Amino acid sequence: MENNITSIKRHEPLFKIFKRNDMPKWKALLIRVCATLGAIIFSMILASIIIGKNPFEIFGTMVSGAFDLPWRLIYDGVVLLGFGIAIVPAFKMRFWNMGANGQVLVGCLAACLVMFYFGNKMNNVILIIIMFIVSLIASIIWAVVPAIFKAFFNTNETLFTLMMNYIAIGLVAYCNFVMAKGMRETPGIINNLTEKGWITFHFLPPTIKSYILPIIVIILITVFIYIYITKTKQGFEVSVLGDSEKTARYAGMNTKWIMIRTLIISGIICGIIGFLFATCVHHCVTVNLCGGKGFSGILIAWLSNFNPLIMAGVSLFMSFIDNGTSSVTATYSLGSNALSSVIIGLIFFAILISEFFIRYRVVRRQRTTKEAKEC
């Protein structure tokens, strides 16, 4: 018996991880800032080795390039924020919605199909209203189907929502091929001459008119979600379900309906983004429309601890890095924007490591005298 106890002790892990609850906010903020600055410095040194220029010169090019088109910088940051906001309610509920890309894609596709086939057959205001409605319906369906299967059959929502992304990509590729009548991959800009189904502000400068409405709408959505999560009964139910499904059921909450209702909200947000892409910005839909914004939004939401207001700052910072490194790529003729992905990846990695040590404490188990002698 004594030998068994000794054996168990000997096989205890050398390091143990405990959740922190006592770190001051100023200290946590300082750690995040230091981690981010360290990642940027390391990235500039790496870029200097690759490009063969002074790292300070490269950093200056990045800063000036990021602010060269300020409205583009703000727009990219706000759109990234929109993708993050779309998955926040689901993530607060511990429903790992990886399908924001697909939900936005089908929303934009639905709006573009209406714009393509009915653009010259009805009044522009009615056309835009119908586009808005079908965009919301398509995105809600794409979000709710995984929620229904999760609620009633306990399927894995991560894999389900990821697969819905690939279905959306295939659907977009097929519909584009049909609209182009098989002559090319996409029909290009829809209604380029008539601007039917477009929302444009011709009295604004060209650099602003395509971005102003998406920026305003997504900021309003961010404020709404912040109030919804922190101030409403439904937001409280989402938080309780995320903490413990058993507790939510014990409190008399309809967990299945809460799950479906929350994904409806995510679908509505993605539908609005897809509608704005179709009517204000791109006026078309492609398989690469969202890029990696859906997954970047997940990282931003997670790093911001699902706080929409903090997410706004993180999104703008990531937009600054992305636009700045794109300027570096163009200035030094690198031929690929992979440097942007490397720098953003390094920053994310540094922040994730800092978040781990902010939220958890690693304790080394002290060795007994007998263990020390055996070593």
Mean pLDDT of the chain: 87
Select from 3.30.160, 3.30.40, 1.10.3470, 1.10.287 the CATH code of 73-343: 1.10.3470
**What is the structure's pLDDT at 353?**
86
pLDDT above 50 for 77: yes
Report the percent of the chain where pLDDT is more than 70.
93
| 361 strand-pairing partners | 18
> How many angstroms separate the CA atoms of 99 and 146, rounded?
9
pLDDT above 70 for 147: yes
* Burial of 212 from C-beta contacts in 10 A (0-12 / 13-18 / 19+): middle
Report the percent of the chain where pLDDT is more than 90.
48
Number of DSSP helices (H) and strands (E) in the chain, helices first = 16, 2
Least confident range from 81-90, 113-122, 164-173, 293-302: namely 293-302
pLDDT in tens, 296-306: 888 888 878 88
* Stretch 80-89: mean pLDDT: 94
**What is the structure's pLDDT at 141?**
97
* Stretch 254-276: mean pLDDT: 96
Nearest to 112 by CA among 19, 198, 218: 198
pLDDT in tens, 170-192: 999 999 999 998 888 888 899 99
Between 367 and 296, the higher pLDDT residue: 296
Measured CA angle at 99 (ends 116, 307), to 5 deg: 115
Q: Are 306 and 230 spatial neighbours (Cβ–Cβ below 8 Å)? A: no
In the three-class reduction of DSSP (H, G, I as helix; E, B as strand; rest coil), residue 201 is classed as coil
Going along the chain, which residue ranges are E strands?
15-19, 360-364
* Stretch 349-373: mean pLDDT: 73
> How many angstroms separate the CA atoms of 239 and 154, rounded?
19
* Stretch 27-47: mean pLDDT: 85
pLDDT above 70 for 320: yes
**The two three-digit tokens of residue 354, written as one number:** 């800092």
Delimit the domains of the chain by residue range. 73-343
pLDDT above 90 for 137: yes
**What is the structure's pLDDT at 304?**
84
**What is the structure's pLDDT at 113?**
96
> How many angstroms separate the CA atoms of 329 and 340, rounded?
8
**What is the structure's pLDDT at 259?**
95
> How many angstroms separate the CA atoms of 171 and 155, rounded?
23
* Stretch 62-87: mean pLDDT: 91
Please indicate, yes or no, whether the overall pTM of this predicted structure exceeds 0.85. Answer: yes
pLDDT above 50 for 8: no
> How many angstroms separate the CA atoms of 183 and 215, rounded?
35
**What is the structure's pLDDT at 25?**
78
* Stretch 137-161: mean pLDDT: 95
Distances (CA, A) of 262 to 5, 188, 233, 295: 49, 35, 13, 19
- Intra-chain end-to-end CA distance of the chain, in Å: 24
Between 336 and 284, the higher pLDDT residue: 284
pLDDT above 50 for 5: no
Crossing angle, helix 25-51 and helix 338-359, to 10 degrees? 150
Between 135 and 56, the higher pLDDT residue: 135
pLDDT above 70 for 373: no
**What is the structure's pLDDT at 7?**
47
pLDDT band for 65, please (50, 70, 90 cuts).
Answer: confident
Distances (CA, A) of 143 to 251, 261, 292: 26, 10, 18
**What is the structure's pLDDT at 220?**
96
